[in-house]
């Protein structure tokens, strides 16, 4: 199992808005570090439930640089930290300003509260509370906004099952958003299978918002942070460990449905190393 311990670091190399986790912990005294570069783009987006294209918006591109650190306090408890720098631009005729700044950081914990045998494998349940905090007063009310600019309290858990080289993780919970955005319910489902040093991880990621306005209601009823943003995404990630302390990761996802969000397609690459 030890070569698979950095998998949760490899999987969290994504934008903070869609970060997700899996049911692995590092073990007491181990620290993992991960760096990634992510590119996501869209030239169509949903206004309410209707997908449109707008020459004024054009293609929006977001480049994100992520740092992820996790430390095993015990064999069942990790402390985690994630931070991002974002660079957002649009080539539309409206000439929206490019934006770049430190975005948000996430500080949290992952506690394996229970585990036990189930059939040919093992089932585990994790509690994963976290806080998301903006690191700067970045632009949050524009087509090229860096983020939503508010503090989130994430109350999530993970159910994880592993049998040999196959495993599955389901993450869900409740994100209390302290600001203009309404609270959200995330749902992330990840499958994994390993063959030698390579692990392949197809996944589904979705977010359901409790309320909010449509993009067409901006600015009459509020700014962009107030929109009711929902999405469904499918993707795949690959992680390869060169040795126990070093690995490489790459990933891709596409958006299949949404509400007041971009029809985003994204690619990422990263490195993971630990001691």
pLDDT at 273 over 70: yes
Dihedral sign of CA atoms 202, 272, 71, 185 in order: negative
Contacts of 1 (CB under 8 A, 6+ apart): none
The answer on pLDDT for 83 being more than 60 is yes
Q: Distance (Å, rounded) from C-alpha 173 to C-alpha 82? A: 19
Range of the domain at 119: 2-274
* The two three-digit tokens of residue 147, written as one number: 């983020």
Q: Where are the alpha helices (DSSP H) in the chain?
A: 7-11
pTM for the predicted model, two decimal places: 0.90
11, pLDDT greater than 80: no
The answer, yes or no, to whether residue 17 has pLDDT greater than 60, is no
Of the candidate ranges 4-13, 56-65, 97-106, the one whose mean pLDDT is the lowest: 4-13
Count structural domains, the chain.
Answer: 1
- Give backbone dihedrals phi and psi of 127, rounded to 5 degrees, phi first: -105, 130
Report the chain's terminal Cα–Cα distance, integer Å.
15
Mean pLDDT across the stretch 216-232?
94
Cα 95 to the center of its chain, rounded Å: 29
Sign of the C-alpha dihedral computed for residues 231, 203, 150 and 104 taken in this order: negative
Q: Which residue from 61, 82, 62 is spatially nearest to 70, judged by alpha carbons?
A: 82
Three-state secondary structure of 43-102: CCEEECCEEECCCCCCCEEEEEEEEEEEEEEECCEEEEEEEEEEEEEECCCCCCCCEEEE
Q: How confident is the model at residue 15 (pLDDT cuts 50, 70, 90)?
A: very low
d(CA 22, CA 272): 16
- For residue 231, is pLDDT > 60? yes
Q: 11 versus 126: which is more confidently predicted?
A: 126
Give per-residue pLDDT as tens, 23-45.
788 889 999 999 999 999 999 99
pLDDT score of 16: 47
pLDDT one-digit tens code per residue, 129-180: 999 999 999 999 999 999 999 999 999 999 999 999 999 999 999 999 998 8
Neighbour-count burial of 34, counting CB atoms closer than 10 A to its CB (0-12 exposed, 13-18 middle, 19+ buried): buried
| CATH code of 99's domain | 2.40.160.40
In the structure, what pLDDT confidence band is assigned to residue 3 with cuts at 50, 70 and 90? very low
Whether the per-residue pLDDT at 4 is higher than 90: the answer is no
């Amino acid at each position: 199992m030890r070569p698979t311990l950095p998998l949760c670091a490899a999987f969290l190399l994504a934008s903070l808005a869609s970060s997700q986790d899996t049911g692995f912990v590092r073990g007491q005294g181990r620290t993992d570090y991960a760096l990634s570069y992510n590119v996501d783009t869209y030239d169509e987006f949903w206004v309410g439930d209707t997908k449109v294209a707008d020459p004024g918006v054009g293609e929006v591109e977001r480049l994100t640089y992520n740092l992820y650190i996790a430390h095993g306090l015990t064999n069942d408890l990790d402390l985690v930290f994630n931070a991002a720098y974002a660079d957002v631009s649009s080539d539309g005729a409206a000439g929206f300003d490019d934006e770049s700044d430190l975005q948000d950081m996430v500080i949290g914990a992952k506690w394996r509260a229970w585990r036990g045998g189930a059939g040919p494998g093992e089932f585990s349940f994790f509690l994963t509370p976290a806080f998301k905090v903006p690191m700067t007063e970045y632009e949050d009310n524009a087509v090229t906004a860096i983020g939503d600019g508010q503090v989130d309290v994430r109350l999530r858990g993970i159910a994880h099952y592993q049998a040999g080289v196959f495993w599955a993780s389901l993450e869900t919970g409740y994100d209390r958003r302290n600001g203009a955005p309404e609270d959200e319910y995330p749902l992330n489902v990840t499958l994994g299978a390993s063959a030698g040093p390579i692990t392949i991880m197809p996944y589904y990621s979705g977010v359901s918002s409790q309320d909010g306005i449509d993009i067409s209601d901006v600015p009459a009823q509020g700014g962009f942070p107030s929109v009711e943003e929902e999405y469904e995404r499918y993707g795949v990630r690959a992680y390869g460990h060169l040795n126990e302390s070093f690995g490489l990761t790459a990933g891709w996802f596409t958006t299949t449905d949404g509400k007041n969000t971009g029809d985003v397609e994204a690619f990422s690459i990263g490195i993971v190393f630990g001691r």
